[in-house]
Amino acid sequence: MASTQIIAQLVGVVGIGLLLSSTFMRRRALLLGLDAAGSLVMGIHWALLGATAGVAISVVVAAMDLAGTDARNPRGRAVIWASIPVTAILLVVLWSGPMDLLAGLGLLGIAMSRLSPGQIRLRALAIAASVPWIAYGIVLMSIPQVVFSAAYMVAMGVSIARIRRGNWRARASAENRAILPADGP
């Protein structure tokens, strides 16, 4: 393994740490803030692997995460909706092969997750969005991406199960408490 590949994998591990720690956050803003930081670090990881579409999508995901911290903010929702055509344009401009479609599908799932008002739906759609990211990581030989996506799916699934059983309540700011019952506690 070349030194650039080793560095890329190590940077990816740092990104994974941030992304996985986000799954344990009970507050939407903390979950998405840590996810944004992890996405930016993963952008560096993709740059080291030469995956230009991965870099661009990481930046778009970070922007969506930050815009989605308040599920009811119309400006934030507009940013998330705008990210979908922006991603399509980026995929065309930065096209490096069919694997970029996997990243695009992953981003579409992330957008739908960030548009969800409730914690359970947000987490369930994040699980679904992980599937194309696993495939993207396999194609580009990104060990951290594959490991992270699998672990992220499990951690989000556990948090959903805990929320549904009542053993763990997602925390929300006072103004967001009213929207939590939309898909569960």
Residue 171: pLDDT band (50, 70, 90) is: low
Whether the pLDDT of residue 185 is over 90: the answer is no
Q: What is the pLDDT of residue 128?
A: 96
CB count, 10 Å around CB of 150?
A: 14
Evaluate the CA torsion angle 175, 178, 162, 65 in order and state its sign: negative
The pLDDT of 81-108, averaged and rounded, is: 88
Q: What is the pLDDT of residue 183?
A: 41
Number of domains in the chain: 1
- Domain membership of residue 101 as a residue range: 3-182
